A = this chain, B = another copy of it.
Amino acid sequence: MAPKNKTRERIIEASLELFNAQGERSVTTNHLAAHLGISPGNLYYHFRNKQAIIAELFAQYESRVDMFLRRPDGRALTVEDKTFYLEALLAAMWHYRFLHRDLEHLLETDPELAARYRDFARRCMASATSVYKGFVESGILDMNDEQVEALTFNSWIILTSWVRFLCSIRSNPGDLSEELMRRGIYQVLALESGHVSPAARPAVTALLQRLHVPLEQVLG
Protein backbone atom coordinates (compact mmCIF):
# COMPACT_ATOMS: atom_id res chain seq x y z
CA MET A 1 0.00 0.00 0.00
CA ALA A 2 2.65 2.53 1.02
CA PRO A 3 4.25 3.12 -2.40
CA LYS A 4 0.84 3.40 -4.05
CA ASN A 5 -0.25 6.11 -1.63
CA LYS A 6 3.04 7.82 -2.12
CA THR A 7 2.44 8.00 -5.89
CA ARG A 8 -1.03 9.37 -5.24
CA GLU A 9 0.43 12.09 -3.05
CA ARG A 10 3.14 12.90 -5.60
CA ILE A 11 0.48 13.29 -8.31
CA ILE A 12 -1.48 15.71 -6.11
CA GLU A 13 1.62 17.75 -5.26
CA ALA A 14 2.89 17.93 -8.84
CA SER A 15 -0.58 18.86 -10.12
CA LEU A 16 -0.84 21.75 -7.70
CA GLU A 17 2.62 22.94 -8.66
CA LEU A 18 1.99 22.78 -12.42
CA PHE A 19 -1.57 24.17 -12.22
CA ASN A 20 -0.27 27.14 -10.23
CA ALA A 21 2.66 27.75 -12.56
CA GLN A 22 0.96 27.24 -15.93
CA GLY A 23 -2.78 27.48 -15.29
CA GLU A 24 -4.94 24.39 -15.01
CA ARG A 25 -6.16 24.57 -18.60
CA SER A 26 -2.71 24.17 -20.14
CA VAL A 27 -1.74 21.11 -18.07
CA THR A 28 -2.97 17.71 -19.32
CA THR A 29 -2.77 14.37 -17.53
CA ASN A 30 -0.07 13.41 -20.07
CA HIS A 31 2.02 16.43 -19.03
CA LEU A 32 1.55 15.43 -15.43
CA ALA A 33 2.61 11.82 -16.01
CA ALA A 34 5.67 12.94 -18.02
CA HIS A 35 6.61 15.47 -15.32
CA LEU A 36 6.44 12.73 -12.67
CA GLY A 37 8.22 10.14 -14.80
CA ILE A 38 5.30 7.71 -14.53
CA SER A 39 3.11 6.17 -17.23
CA PRO A 40 -0.31 7.70 -18.03
CA GLY A 41 -1.78 4.31 -17.04
CA ASN A 42 -0.24 4.58 -13.58
CA LEU A 43 -1.72 8.07 -13.21
CA TYR A 44 -5.17 6.81 -14.28
CA TYR A 45 -4.87 4.01 -11.73
CA HIS A 46 -4.95 6.71 -9.04
CA PHE A 47 -7.23 9.33 -10.65
CA ARG A 48 -9.75 8.60 -13.38
CA ASN A 49 -9.24 12.08 -14.91
CA LYS A 50 -7.99 15.62 -14.28
CA GLN A 51 -11.31 16.63 -12.72
CA ALA A 52 -10.77 14.03 -9.98
CA ILE A 53 -7.38 15.62 -9.17
CA ILE A 54 -8.93 19.09 -9.10
CA ALA A 55 -11.73 17.82 -6.83
CA GLU A 56 -9.12 16.48 -4.41
CA LEU A 57 -7.18 19.78 -4.42
CA PHE A 58 -10.42 21.67 -3.86
CA ALA A 59 -11.26 19.39 -0.92
CA GLN A 60 -7.83 20.18 0.61
CA TYR A 61 -8.40 23.91 0.14
CA GLU A 62 -11.91 23.67 1.55
CA SER A 63 -10.90 21.80 4.72
CA ARG A 64 -7.97 24.16 5.26
CA VAL A 65 -10.20 27.26 5.11
CA ASP A 66 -12.97 25.61 7.17
CA MET A 67 -10.39 24.87 9.87
CA PHE A 68 -9.33 28.47 10.54
CA LEU A 69 -12.31 30.55 9.37
CA ARG A 70 -14.30 30.32 12.59
CA ARG A 71 -14.88 32.42 15.62
CA PRO A 72 -13.06 31.28 18.75
CA ASP A 73 -15.32 30.11 21.59
CA GLY A 74 -15.59 31.87 24.89
CA ARG A 75 -13.36 34.90 24.34
CA ALA A 76 -13.47 38.31 22.69
CA LEU A 77 -11.73 38.83 19.34
CA THR A 78 -8.57 40.99 19.24
CA VAL A 79 -6.64 42.84 16.50
CA GLU A 80 -4.12 39.96 16.65
CA ASP A 81 -6.96 37.65 15.55
CA LYS A 82 -7.41 39.92 12.53
CA THR A 83 -3.74 39.40 11.66
CA PHE A 84 -4.19 35.66 12.09
CA TYR A 85 -7.23 35.46 9.79
CA LEU A 86 -5.67 37.64 7.11
CA GLU A 87 -2.39 35.72 7.07
CA ALA A 88 -4.11 32.35 7.04
CA LEU A 89 -6.24 33.51 4.11
CA LEU A 90 -3.20 34.82 2.29
CA ALA A 91 -1.35 31.53 2.73
CA ALA A 92 -4.34 29.46 1.56
CA MET A 93 -4.99 31.71 -1.43
CA TRP A 94 -1.36 31.58 -2.47
CA HIS A 95 -1.05 27.81 -2.04
CA TYR A 96 -4.12 27.07 -4.20
CA ARG A 97 -3.98 30.14 -6.46
CA PHE A 98 -4.85 28.23 -9.66
CA LEU A 99 -8.36 27.66 -8.25
CA HIS A 100 -9.22 31.36 -8.21
CA ARG A 101 -7.52 32.05 -11.47
CA ASP A 102 -9.49 29.50 -13.48
CA LEU A 103 -12.59 29.40 -11.32
CA GLU A 104 -15.34 30.02 -13.93
CA HIS A 105 -13.85 27.44 -16.26
CA LEU A 106 -13.55 24.88 -13.45
CA LEU A 107 -17.12 25.41 -12.27
CA GLU A 108 -18.63 25.42 -15.76
CA THR A 109 -17.04 22.13 -16.72
CA ASP A 110 -17.89 20.29 -13.48
CA PRO A 111 -21.44 20.73 -12.08
CA GLU A 112 -20.58 18.65 -9.00
CA LEU A 113 -17.68 20.97 -8.17
CA ALA A 114 -19.94 23.98 -8.84
CA ALA A 115 -22.47 22.72 -6.27
CA ARG A 116 -19.71 22.07 -3.71
CA TYR A 117 -18.26 25.52 -4.38
CA ARG A 118 -21.67 27.14 -3.80
CA ASP A 119 -21.96 25.41 -0.41
CA PHE A 120 -18.39 26.34 0.46
CA ALA A 121 -18.89 30.01 -0.50
CA ARG A 122 -22.10 30.28 1.53
CA ARG A 123 -20.44 28.57 4.52
CA CYS A 124 -17.40 30.90 4.30
CA MET A 125 -19.62 33.97 4.12
CA ALA A 126 -21.64 32.79 7.13
CA SER A 127 -18.38 32.27 9.07
CA ALA A 128 -17.01 35.63 7.93
CA THR A 129 -20.23 37.35 9.08
CA SER A 130 -19.88 35.70 12.47
CA VAL A 131 -16.19 36.76 12.72
CA TYR A 132 -16.99 40.35 11.68
CA LYS A 133 -19.79 40.45 14.28
CA GLY A 134 -17.22 39.25 16.82
CA PHE A 135 -15.02 42.24 15.96
CA VAL A 136 -18.05 44.51 16.43
CA GLU A 137 -18.85 42.93 19.82
CA SER A 138 -15.28 43.29 21.04
CA GLY A 139 -15.33 46.99 20.10
CA ILE A 140 -12.80 46.84 17.24
CA LEU A 141 -15.32 47.56 14.47
CA ASP A 142 -18.23 49.96 14.68
CA MET A 143 -20.88 48.72 12.23
CA ASN A 144 -24.54 47.70 12.08
CA ASP A 145 -25.82 44.35 10.77
CA GLU A 146 -26.53 45.65 7.27
CA GLN A 147 -23.01 47.02 7.00
CA VAL A 148 -21.59 43.68 8.16
CA GLU A 149 -23.63 41.88 5.49
CA ALA A 150 -22.34 44.22 2.76
CA LEU A 151 -18.78 43.91 4.10
CA THR A 152 -19.00 40.11 4.04
CA PHE A 153 -20.01 40.06 0.36
CA ASN A 154 -17.36 42.60 -0.54
CA SER A 155 -14.54 40.83 1.27
CA TRP A 156 -15.48 37.49 -0.32
CA ILE A 157 -15.53 39.07 -3.80
CA ILE A 158 -12.22 40.91 -3.33
CA LEU A 159 -10.51 37.78 -2.00
CA THR A 160 -11.76 35.45 -4.70
CA SER A 161 -11.33 37.98 -7.55
CA TRP A 162 -7.92 39.40 -6.67
CA VAL A 163 -5.85 36.95 -8.72
CA ARG A 164 -8.06 37.46 -11.77
CA PHE A 165 -7.95 41.21 -11.32
CA LEU A 166 -4.14 41.07 -11.38
CA CYS A 167 -4.22 38.91 -14.50
CA SER A 168 -6.53 41.35 -16.29
CA ILE A 169 -4.58 44.48 -15.35
CA ARG A 170 -0.94 43.38 -15.72
CA SER A 171 0.86 43.00 -19.02
CA ASN A 172 2.47 39.78 -17.77
CA PRO A 173 -0.23 37.73 -16.04
CA GLY A 174 2.17 34.88 -15.31
CA ASP A 175 4.36 36.70 -12.77
CA LEU A 176 2.13 36.61 -9.69
CA SER A 177 4.13 36.90 -6.49
CA GLU A 178 3.31 36.40 -2.84
CA GLU A 179 3.78 40.15 -2.46
CA LEU A 180 1.00 40.82 -4.95
CA MET A 181 -1.21 38.45 -2.94
CA ARG A 182 -0.39 40.51 0.15
CA ARG A 183 -1.82 43.58 -1.52
CA GLY A 184 -5.05 41.59 -1.97
CA ILE A 185 -5.19 41.06 1.78
CA TYR A 186 -4.49 44.79 2.25
CA GLN A 187 -7.51 45.49 0.03
CA VAL A 188 -9.71 43.26 2.21
CA LEU A 189 -8.53 45.04 5.36
CA ALA A 190 -9.06 48.42 3.65
CA LEU A 191 -12.76 47.49 3.30
CA GLU A 192 -13.12 48.03 7.05
CA SER A 193 -10.92 51.11 7.31
CA GLY A 194 -13.83 53.52 7.76
CA HIS A 195 -15.42 51.38 10.47
CA VAL A 196 -12.50 50.84 12.85
CA SER A 197 -13.18 52.18 16.37
CA PRO A 198 -10.84 54.94 17.62
CA ALA A 199 -9.31 52.60 20.23
CA ALA A 200 -8.32 49.97 17.65
CA ARG A 201 -7.19 52.45 14.98
CA PRO A 202 -3.45 52.57 15.77
CA ALA A 203 -3.13 48.77 15.69
CA VAL A 204 -5.17 48.41 12.47
CA THR A 205 -3.24 51.25 10.79
CA ALA A 206 0.03 49.51 11.67
CA LEU A 207 -1.33 46.28 10.18
CA LEU A 208 -2.36 48.11 6.99
CA GLN A 209 1.12 49.60 6.66
CA ARG A 210 2.69 46.19 7.06
CA LEU A 211 0.53 44.74 4.28
CA HIS A 212 0.85 47.67 1.87
CA VAL A 213 2.40 47.10 -1.59
CA PRO A 214 2.87 50.17 -3.82
CA LEU A 215 0.47 50.83 -6.71
CA GLU A 216 3.22 50.67 -9.35
CA GLN A 217 3.97 47.09 -8.32
CA VAL A 218 0.31 46.12 -8.60
CA LEU A 219 -0.09 47.60 -12.08
CA GLY A 220 3.20 45.97 -13.12
Contacts and interface: CB of A to CB of B under 8 A. Distances in A.
Interface of A: 102-105, 107, 114, 117-118, 121-122, 143, 146-147, 149-151, 153-154, 156-158, 160-162, 164-165, 167-171, 186-187, 190-195, 212, 215, 218-219
This chain: copies in complex: 2
A55 to B, nearest CB: 17
A121 B121 CA distance: 27
Interface class of chain A by DSSP: helix
A147 to B, nearest CB: 6
29 contacts: A103-B168, A104-B104, A104-B105, A104-B167, A105-B105, A117-B168, A118-B168, A121-B168, A143-B194, A147-B193, A147-B194, A149-B215, A150-B186, A150-B193, A153-B218, A154-B158, A154-B190, A156-B165, A157-B158, A157-B161, A157-B165, A160-B161, A160-B165, A160-B168, A161-B161, A192-B194, A193-B194, A193-B195, A194-B195
Nearest to A121: B169
Contacts of A117: 168
A117 B154 CA distance: 23
Nearest to A188: B154
